Structure 1
């Protein structure tokens, strides 16, 4: 698969992550207009003025998250559901929160067509996480925050970790991994510049 060769060249080498990406047809998560580019390593437009991340970024973030088979994972920013689908092949359970109702609907439909039964898509304000399902072993944020959001940090299990793009929203951001310890939180910069839409509070009905 051409995409997997590209991903390896761009530093995605974790065998479990590559297998999960191989099992997840990206074309199922883009419109027909962009279906021919689904296997290119580029971000693509989706509904509600959002984008689906480029596969190498998805692969690197997923690798950094280091999801284990028994993990319960929270994703903030579902989009059309591509990242959640990849996580579903690595984790026991995936909860994903999307503020755009139209995108949440598209993601649910795509997951249903692919028979992915361990994903729950929720329309809501992801900046507050999902306290009723906390704590989570892993949290992945696919929108940029100026600082790792406090409500999400509070929903990490001790020993758990969160990957989040941090920085001013209209400039390049850096991926940060936060690990919760018995005594607090450890922060590490992954030295990977990225560009994500900003993490926005509230819910969009459309």
Structure 2
């Protein structure tokens, strides 16, 4: 396989048609080499339009490349911002976020995946990411940060727990896939004041649920 041709085809045939048009995002997809974060058994699928299974018994998988890229673009991370990711997986999304942010805290419930992601990030020279083991499905209050500029949920949720909204700074964004199979909606939720949030729907999709996620939330916005 011609790796660079496959990467080019991924960007031009999968990612651009999904309205990922910002040049800094497209450039980043060539800088952070996706194949370095894919499990060895699936290297040949690194650039395919599919979810890739991850090690372990929890059934986790990587988002397809176009979903990763679109969520990254819509998060609109800036260099001074602190990002929380729930669901580290292979560490690929954390690596992408790290290139855009000041610092990333990424939470993984599976100990084996945490180790896998840490090794991938270390091997790739990413230094501004903390990988922590824990269940972040209801929010993440451990660590020195109590609120975040950006929260990325790398797994679907039936509804968004209130805790994530409370952990978002004013002006901050949550990027998440909300709903139940077969149809879910990727959303950007922006905190516009202490008590108000704006929700923008991005696209319909279907993704594996975040492990131990809450079945519903009664928060209204």
* TM-score when normalising by structure 1: 0.91
Q: CA deviation at 1:183?
A: 4.0
Q: How does 1:1-206 map to 2 (within 5 A)?
A: 1-6=8-13, 7-48=15-56, 49-131=59-141, 132=143, 133-168=145-180, 170-201=181-212
RMSD, aligned α-carbons:
1.6
Runs of 4 or more off by more than 4 Å in structure 1? Answer: none
Deviation per CA, 1:117-150, whole angstroms, max 9, x where unpaired? 0011111011233323221000011122222111
Deviation track 1:71-113 (CA, whole Å, cap 9, x = no partner) reads: 1000111111111111111111011001111111100000000
Task: Indicate conservation of the 8 Å contact 1:20/1:90, yes or no.
Answer: no
Q: Report how far residue 190 of structure 1 moved.
A: 2.1
Consecutive unaligned residues of structure 1, counting only runs of 5 or more, are none
- Counterparts of 1:69 and 1:21 in 2: how far apart (Å)? 17
Q: TM-score, structure 2 length as denominator?
A: 0.85
Tell me how far apart the structure 1 counterparts of residues 149 and 200 of structure 2 sit (CA, whole Å). 20
| Contact map agreement 1:98 1:126 (CA 8 A) in 2 | yes
Return 5+ residue gaps in structure 2 as ranges: 1-7, 214-221
